Amino acid sequence: MTALFESDDAADTAVAHLRDADAGLAALIERVGPFRMRLKATASLFGALAEAIVYQQLSGKAAATIHGRVCALFPRSRPTPELLLRAPDATLRGAGLSRNKLLSLRDLAARTEAGELPTLPQARRLPDAELIERLTEVRGIGRWTVEMLLMFRLGRPDVLPVDDYGIRKGFAVAFRKRALPDRAQLDKRGARWRPYRTVASWYLWRATEL
């Protein structure tokens, strides 16, 4: 599947398309400036999803601390599905994991070991909708989590997380709406931004910072 940063001019092409497609978004782009989203290095799909589970519902600093403690329990600070399944509950809980997150990590590890989930190379070739369907079968992995993986790990160019509060707030700021938009409103306006809704989403997040 196409990634957002496969060529040097891909981002410029996306921004030019958005400017032409939506005057309101063009005004936001003018205020924010160049598109500067960067992908996060990813060694494995298991590692990316495990990190996402740890980070859920925590501040960045607290999540990073717990994630670091969990990783430090394993050789070279790299938990694998096999090693995580063998680690005692008490050891993992001692690193700061809640019971629910521990259960989610074990489900992720078990499904990965069983071959139920795609590898990272396989995930790169799967369509967005199929990857969302397969990964949300894991306990604790919802649509939003997979959308973030699609955007920031796999560089998919056409993702619009309509349930994300920052996206909804940014939309209200950018288009001067008194109320936050619902899913239908975002979907309708977002149709103008295809096939570069990831880039539009990045600009909407930036709108909350203006």
Active site residues: 164
Joined tokens for residue 113: 């070991």
Using alpha carbons, list the distances in angstroms from residue 13 to 31, 47, 88, 155, 206. Answer: 18, 32, 50, 15, 19
Does a cis peptide bond (omega within 30 degrees of 0) precede residue 195?
Answer: yes
Distance (Å, whole) CA 203 – CA 28? 7
Maximum CA pair distance of the chain?
56
In contact, 91 and 105? CB cutoff 8 Å: no
Joined tokens for residue 35: 């598109």
Those residues with Cβ within 8 angstroms of residue 34's Cβ, 6 or more apart along the chain or in another chain: 15
In contact, 45 and 123? CB cutoff 8 Å: yes
